[in-house]
Amino acid sequence: MSTGQNERVNKQLLLKKVPTGISGPDDFEVQESELASIRAGEVLVEAHYFGVDAALRLIVRDSDEFLFRVKPGDVVRGSAAGQVIASNNEQFALGDYVLVSGGIQNFIVSNGDDLERVDVSQAPLGGWLGGFGVSGLTAYFAVTEECRPQPGQTVLINGAAGAVGSIAGQLCKMAGAKVIGLTGSAEKCLWLVEELGYDVAINYKDDDWYDQLLEAAPERLDVIFDNVGGEILDKSLKLIGMRGVVLLCGSTSQYTEEEMKGPSNYIWLGTMRARMQGFVIFDYLDRYSEARSRMATWIKTGLLKIPAHELAGDVDAFPEAFKQLYEGKNLGKMLLKLPAAG
């Protein structure tokens, strides 16, 4: 066990005020403090990467309706990948690479319960926050267990160029489905088709995007894989097919709204005997290793690509990275690479 540690200054990102609309740097502040020595049973982790996730905007809302709410003055919640630099816990050794949900800060003290050791020979450290992390696992189990697209079926991915959608679309293609992606720019549409193998990609900012969707899915949609919610989901529901599936994995368009709005076209669910259901990745905690093993094989054989969008900076760069995520500047998972990563 290692108990010694040099004096270190820890930068922590705090929520300064409840954001309005898309949050920006003015909604956060950085606090610096010296680290105390770790106690018996504790582990000190130095963060190398932060995952930049749209769901953060949900938990900084002025509402007690959501789990893990962050209030002004709190350290902003977030997932990190890093390295153990001191340990008084026999389960973790110096040099171990781990995932930890200890908030946006350079150093995280843990009793080990929230740490997951990772194998960087299987995937780069940052990849354990993306394709091998919650984003990739969400795509994997949503497609293979919840949607289960069949050969010849037509699948719509809303939010197709994001961390989850970019992987989910590829998995649906591997299952033999026709895959249509909705995304927010012509550049992303081209990337989805040329790099990830989508059959059709549509820019939802085009005035005629729904007409393009009608043309791409003349026999309706068997699966709607939704990460966006709002108007896009509502209009998409009009095209759900007989006994189709609408899977709700996120609602990013609504996270910044003062009052969230649900769909009004739900009558089509009844007409088409379709079902709409929610999905939470943590239902599959005991099968994470299975998913990672299969995805690792697909990556090695070239069947699956794990896109990531890396920005470099320290803790104080996180608000700008988060802002860029909501401005749609990412292709795949948005990651913030910290100086400790080298």
Categorize the per-residue pLDDT at 25 as very low, low, confident or very high, splitting at 50, 70 and 90.
confident
In this predicted structure, what is the pLDDT of residue 6? 55
Q: The dihedral of CA 235, 54, 182, 296: what is its sign?
A: negative
Superfamily of domain 134-282: NAD(P)-binding Rossmann-like Domain (3.40.50.720)
Q: Are 99 and 123 in contact (CB under 8 A)?
A: no
156 pLDDT tier (thresholds 50, 70, 90): very high
Alpha-carbon separation of residue 170 from 143, 229, 295, 303 (angstroms):
10, 21, 11, 8
pLDDT at 2 over 70: no
pLDDT of 218-269, one tens digit each?
A: 999 999 999 999 999 999 999 999 999 999 998 888 877 777 788 899 999 9
The whole-model pTM stands at 0.91
CB 133 within 8 A of CB 281: no
The ranges assigned to domains in the chain are 9-130+307-341, 134-282
Q: Predicted confidence band at 67 (pLDDT cuts at 50, 70, 90)?
A: low
Query: pLDDT tens-digit profile of 174-224?
Result: 999 999 999 999 999 999 999 999 999 999 999 999 999 999 999 999 999
- The string of pLDDT tens digits covering residues 27-41 is 999 999 998 899 999
3-state helix, strand, coil in the chain (%, to 5): 30, 25, 45
Give percent above pLDDT 90 in the chain: 81
Q: What is the pLDDT of residue 331?
A: 95
Tell me: pLDDT of 134 over 80: yes
Measured CA to CA, the distance from residue 334 to residue 130 in angstroms comes to 8
Backbone angles phi, psi at 109, to 5 degrees: -95, 130
Helix (H, G, I), strand (E, B) or coil at 253: helix
**Residues making up the chain, counted from first to last:** 342
Residue type, 331: L
- Arithmetic mean of pLDDT, 12-26: 87
pLDDT band at 4 (very low <50, low <70, confident <90, very high): very low
Domain 9-130+307-341, architecture per CATH: Alpha-Beta Complex (3.90)
Q: Is the pLDDT of residue 5 over 70?
A: no
Q: Under a CB-based contact definition with an 8 Å cutoff, are residues 234 and 264 in contact?
A: yes
**Where do we find the tokens 């990849």?**
127
In angstroms, the CA 223 to CA 247 distance is 8
How many CA within 13 A on the CB side of residue 18?
13
* Residue type (1 letter), 133: G
